[in-house]
A = this chain, B = another copy of it.
């Protein structure tokens, strides 16, 4: 069948590479939200724990509840708590919420009051991302909450993948100002790309995600990260055309008599961009092969005429992306981002962890 090879060792390598870049006084957390960017959150988390990581970030409650049993140290939940019930869930499952607005703070503080305990949290300020987080103008309103221990204050960079973007330094300066209001809290700021902006951005804890899974955190420069995922599609059929013939839905391509055609069990339901119909390439046995006709839900059609006969008949799989078809190139060709390829990987595709 079609399968993904997921190289966990390379996730550990990427973690170590990032750690080397990070200021020695800063912790290196790992973001494992969205099923570790499609790769498998449990497997990624165990691998990263072995590599020394103790701090993990997920998005919402569903992900936190899915992973709390594996967490040994800190499991942070980015989307926060909005009700007493959610606050209770975090407390009983050892999940530390990131608090993003006054309502979340009030809910969490009230819950702490009922328990008469100071509860751990991260306080999130919006320094320019304009998404989640407290307005920096409101900082005075939130420094007194008796039942919350703000372990960290955090913020999130909007343009870290563009090192020259003026917003980076503006966000940094804003966070430095906010920091002074919380002398007992640590600070977390940088995502993967933020790590490469320099040590000023590292504070007490960085939070890489994409780079762990092989996505280039420094676009426009060579990718320093090791590739983690290879996708291999099973060949269902090998045909030598007996005449000129249309292939695929909408009859958008004519393959010539004598063409060697492979039909692979991989389609857009497996996460392959249909936009690469008649455009994309895959790879087998030293050859880059054209995808012809429209990519369908479960299948794609490949022109393998370049491959010699005896090899052609024995091809069991083609590489969809991996060592030869770079996932970043595939995404760029489909006019999407690599993150979308990873998080879009279909769930029926077998994941082979190594």
Instruction: Enumerate chain A interface residues (CB-CB to B < 8 A).
Output: 1, 33-35, 37-38, 59-63, 78-80, 82, 100-101, 128-132, 135, 137, 158-159, 162, 165, 167, 236-239, 242-243, 245-251, 255, 261, 263, 265, 268-269, 271, 274-275, 293, 296-299, 301, 335-337, 339-340, 343-344, 346-348, 350
Contact partner of A34 (CB less than 8 A), chosen from B35, B297, B339, is B297
Are B35 and A348 closer than 8 Å at their CB atoms?
yes
A sample of 24 cross-chain residue pairs with beta-carbon separation below 8 angstroms, ordered by A number, consists of A1-B62, A34-B346, A34-B348, A35-B269, A35-B348, A37-B297, A59-B265, A59-B298, A60-B348, A62-B348, A63-B348, A79-B236, A129-B249, A130-B255, A131-B263, A131-B299, A137-B242, A158-B249, A158-B250, A165-B251, A268-B344, A275-B335, A297-B339, A297-B343
Are A344 and B347 closer than 8 Å at their CB atoms?
no
- Residue of chain B at shortest CB distance from A255: B130
Give the docked Cα–Cα distance between A347 and B343 (Å): 10
- Residue of chain B at shortest CB distance from A133: B237
A210 nearest CB across to chain B (Å): 9
Give the docked Cα–Cα distance between A61 and B131 (Å): 43
Give the docked Cα–Cα distance between A346 and B336 (Å): 17
Are B246 and A158 closer than 8 Å at their CB atoms?
yes
Are A130 and B60 closer than 8 Å at their CB atoms?
no
Are A339 and B236 closer than 8 Å at their CB atoms?
no
- Residue of chain B at shortest CB distance from A79: B236
Known pairs A130-B251, A135-B242, A158-B248. 19 more at Cβ < 8 A?
A: A1-B61, A34-B348, A37-B297, A60-B298, A79-B236, A79-B265, A101-B238, A101-B239, A128-B251, A129-B248, A130-B255, A130-B261, A132-B237, A132-B263, A159-B249, A165-B251, A274-B336, A275-B335, A347-B347
